Copies of this chain bind each other. A is one copy, B any other.
Amino acid sequence: MRIGVLTAGGDCPGLNAVIRSVVHRAVHDRNDEVIGFEDGFTGLLDGRYRTLDTNDVAGILARGGTILGSARLERDRLREACDNSEELIDRLGLDALIPIGGEGTLTAARMLADAGLPVVGVPKTIDNDISATDRTFGFDTAVGVATEAMDRLKTTAESHQRVMVVEVMGRHAGWIALEAGMAAGAHGICIPERPFEVDDLVKMVEERFAREKKFALICVAEGAHPAEGSMPYEKGVIDRYGHERFVGIGNRLASELEHRLGKEAKPVILGHVQRGGTPTAYDRVLATRFGWHAVEAAHRGDFGRMTALRGTEIVMTPLANAVTELKRVPQDRMDEAESVY
């Protein structure tokens, strides 16, 4: 077979591990040819690719980023390509295409599949918010980085009687905040799924200080937002070009708490540190398994689907499932987390 692989969307630890696994399984075990498109779908549409041999993927298993690069999707061009899918298939001579990416990528993958391309998707989201799979690679690494940072911050908070507000990733779903917050023993966790009351946080901190636990650690997802009326809107920075630059919820919440509590509240915005660098062992294993099973699915002709983790097994699930509904943190998971505040 001739198998194409591409990575699209934001960075996520484990992308290289998937690529390596695809190449090992396809080229080494099954005598396939693997080509890697550069810069995501752009490379596919432009026909920019290189052949990938096992030598090309040597030493990349533990490396962050993606050796294939990534780029924003040009949706119009993609749609156009779908309209001429036969031409595209002929031109590239692909027996299978394995796009690795998040919601946008998988939506595009579905379009291509619907247009007749032999697509096997591999889901990728640092936020773990794709409902068709128990977990996605990269998430464990992000949680690990955030937890380690909060472990560090907690010692300072405790000995210096500080309130720390740590903003982690999670635009639409609060999985990173939930798990890192639980793992680090945060005293408050704010997630997009449930608007938070600033009053509750203020009360929690005051109670802690009253109980001689004179510090608090609050973990807030970037997509969390206050309940209506809970915290007035604060204008962001206007930079000298007249653009308002977003002041994230972490900074705004720390500022608000500082005013209400009359105590220093320090914001820490972890940002991109969470989505780069060496993946954890967990993510390397999951990514490797996804790559392996994607090749197997291609050989079975199991197209229009993507790999997914269910329990301990890797299964194939329709691409349609990946993008219909976001996997959100359910209330019972928050209940578990809150009992250990």
Binding site for B on A (CB under 8 A): 10-11, 15, 20-21, 24-25, 28-29, 58, 61-67, 69-70, 134-135, 140, 143-149, 151-161, 164, 179-180, 182-185, 213, 232, 234-241, 245, 247, 251, 255, 259, 266-269, 271-273, 275-278, 280-282, 284-285, 288-289, 292-293, 310-312, 336, 339-341
- A47 to B117, alpha carbons, bound, how many Å? 53
Do A232 and B237 touch (CB < 8 A)?
no
Do A69 and B161 touch (CB < 8 A)?
yes
Do A151 and B255 touch (CB < 8 A)?
no
A155 partner residues in chain B, CB cutoff 8 A? 11, 63-65, 276-277
Name 7 A/B residue pairs within 8 A (Cβ), A-sorted.
A10-B160, A62-B185, A65-B159, A144-B280, A147-B281, A152-B273, A156-B272
Q: Given A69-B159, A151-B277, A266-B272, list of 8 further CB < 8 A pairs?
A: A15-B159, A25-B339, A61-B183, A140-B281, A179-B285, A182-B288, A234-B239, A241-B259
With A64-B152, A284-B182, A284-B183 given, is the CB distance from A271 to B271 under 8 Å?
no
Number of copies: 4
Do A288 and B340 touch (CB < 8 A)?
yes
Do A255 and B259 touch (CB < 8 A)?
no
A336 partner residues in chain B, CB cutoff 8 A? 288-289, 292-293
Residue of B whose beta carbon sits closest to that of A295: B339
- A247 to B239, alpha carbons, bound, how many Å? 10
Do B159 and A66 touch (CB < 8 A)?
yes
With A240-B232, A271-B266, A272-B268 given, is the CB distance from A69 to B160 under 8 Å?
yes
Closest 4 pairs (CB-CB, A-B): A152-B277, A65-B159, A64-B155, A156-B276
Shortest Cβ distance from A70 into chain B, in angstroms?
Answer: 6
- A288 to B161, alpha carbons, bound, how many Å? 25
Do B70 and A159 touch (CB < 8 A)?
yes
Residue of B whose beta carbon sits closest to that of A62: B151
Do B143 and A281 touch (CB < 8 A)?
yes
